[in-house]
């Protein structure tokens, strides 16, 4: 009961005001009855719909949220409770966010010359084992890559395009469609893996978007979140990620984060924005 009254201070004031006036005036019985009647009606209205209709009607301060704002608020509401934009598995590396100087990672060689962050070895190996059980022989094309190595790949690609007759500017542009500028590749973190299958590689096709025509790629996409991975550069998101569609590039973010990202159809950039928004709103 007590709560009810404290929730509706505006309406209560209004009622009190009315009642006092009536008392002062010492009106005849009839109008007293009338005022009692009014009070009751008002009270009933407050009791029945205090927070919904009552508050909405009486408060002019807040505009109702648009459908888009409601959707956005619901997204923030549904974020994994313990996730933080500063979590190790959510490090964002892209063109605007180059790998921090001095970033250190403990690497484990899971295949000859293929290293990944030791913290993702278990989920990665479980995923590969599950693929095998499902009948897919995966080919682990790339894991950790040093900045120097990325620089070499980058330079080689630019040179190749120039040999094909492109200008330097064109060669750079074409290179950057698929090869990240050194320090801006997620592979520097040891949390990203390029995966196709053995058959695909044996047929001479490399890391190309059309790998998504293969059943193994479908299987990878269907199961990735269970192992904490996301498809990092989904089709049609290059304006958000800065990287064209890569059907083979998966990124470890942890199971809870991955499940949320996949369910909501987001990219990592958007997910981190949502987390940051929640963090600033709770600081205020
Ligand atoms: Zn990759």
145 CA to centre of ligand 1 in angstroms: 10
162 CA to centre of ligand 1 in angstroms: 23
The answer, yes or no, to whether residue 259 has pLDDT greater than 60, is yes
Residues with CB under 5 A from ligand 1 (ion): 194, 249
Report residue 114: phi and psi, to 5°: -125, 110
Banded model confidence at residue 284, pLDDT cuts 50, 70, 90 = low
> Rounded to an integer, what distance in angstroms lies between the CA atom of residue 142 and that of residue 131?
17
Report residue 46: phi and psi, to 5°: -65, -40
> Rounded to an integer, what distance in angstroms lies between the CA atom of residue 3 and that of residue 28?
34
142 CA to centre of ligand 1 in angstroms: 7
16 CA to centre of ligand 1 in angstroms: 68
The answer, yes or no, to whether residue 50 has pLDDT greater than 50, is no
Annotation says 221 is catalytic: no
Q: What's the pTM value of the predicted model, to 2 decimals?
A: 0.74
124 CA to centre of ligand 1 in angstroms: 15
Q: What is the pLDDT of residues 169-208, one digit of tens each?
A: 999 999 988 788 999 999 999 999 999 999 999 999 999 9
248 CA to centre of ligand 1 in angstroms: 7
Those residues whose C-beta lies under 8 Å from the C-beta of residue 249, and which sit 6 or more positions away, are 186, 192, 193, 194, 207, 231, 232, 233
Q: What is the pLDDT of residues 89-148, one digit of tens each?
A: 999 999 999 999 999 999 999 999 999 999 999 999 999 999 999 999 999 999 999 999
254 CA to centre of ligand 1 in angstroms: 18
Residue 62: predicted pLDDT: 73
The answer, yes or no, to whether residue 27 has pLDDT greater than 50, is no
The answer, yes or no, to whether residue 48 has pLDDT greater than 90, is no
> Rounded mean pLDDT of the chain?
83
Those residues whose C-beta lies under 8 Å from the C-beta of residue 121, and which sit 6 or more positions away, are 108, 110
Q: What is the pLDDT of residues 28-47, one digit of tens each?
A: 444 443 443 343 333 343 43
Is 187 within 8 Å of 153 (Cβ atoms)? no
Residues of the chain with pLDDT > 70: what percent?
78
User: Of 101, 246, 269, 273, which one is the catalytic site residue?
Assistant: 246
170 CA to centre of ligand 1 in angstroms: 22
Counting Cα atoms < 13 Å in the Cβ hemisphere of 110 gives 25
Q: What is the pLDDT of residues 72-100, one digit of tens each?
A: 999 999 999 999 999 999 999 999 999 99
271 CA to centre of ligand 1 in angstroms: 20
Q: What's the token pair of residue 92?
A: 């964002």
> Rounded to an integer, what distance in angstroms lies between the CA atom of residue 196 and that of residue 215?
11
Give the residue-averaged pLDDT of 156-168.
Answer: 97
Those residues whose C-beta lies under 8 Å from the C-beta of residue 221, and which sit 6 or more positions away, are 231
282 CA to centre of ligand 1 in angstroms: 35
């Amino acid at each position: 009961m007590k709560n009810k009254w404290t929730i509706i201070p505006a309406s209560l004031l209004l009622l009190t005001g009315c009642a006092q006036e009536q008392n002062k005036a010492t009106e005849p019985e009839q109008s007293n009855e009338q005022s009692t009647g009014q009070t009751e009606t008002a009270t009933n209205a407050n009791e029945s719909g205090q927070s919904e209709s009552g508050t909405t009607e009486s408060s002019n301060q807040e505009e109702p949220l648009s459908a888009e704002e409601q959707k956005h608020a619901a997204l923030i509401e549904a974020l994994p409770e313990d996730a933080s934009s500063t979590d190790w598995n959510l490090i964002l590396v892209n063109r605007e966010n180059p790998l921090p100087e001095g970033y250190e990672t403990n690497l484990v060689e899971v295949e000859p010359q293929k290293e990944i962050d030791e913290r993702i070895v278990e989920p990665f190996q479980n995923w590969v084992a599950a693929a095998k059980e499902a009948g897919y022989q995966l080919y682990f094309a790339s894991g950790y890559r040093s900045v120097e190595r990325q620089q070499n790949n980058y330079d080689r690609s630019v040179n190749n395009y120039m040999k094909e007759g492109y200008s330097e500017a064109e060669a750079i542009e074409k290179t950057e469609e698929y090869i990240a500028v050194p320090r801006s590749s997620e592979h520097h973190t040891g949390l990203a893996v390029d995966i196709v299958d053995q058959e695909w590689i044996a047929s001479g096709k490399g890391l190309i978007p059309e790998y998504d025509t293969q059943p193994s790629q479908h299987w990878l996409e269907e199961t990735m979140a269970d192992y904490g991975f996301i498809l990092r550069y989904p089709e049609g998101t290059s304006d958000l990620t800065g990287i064209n569609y890569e059907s083979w590039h998966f990124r470890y973010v942890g199971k809870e984060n991955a499940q949320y990202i996949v369910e909501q159809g987001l990219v990592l950039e958007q997910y981190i924005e949502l987390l940051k928004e929640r963090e600033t709103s709770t600081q205020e």
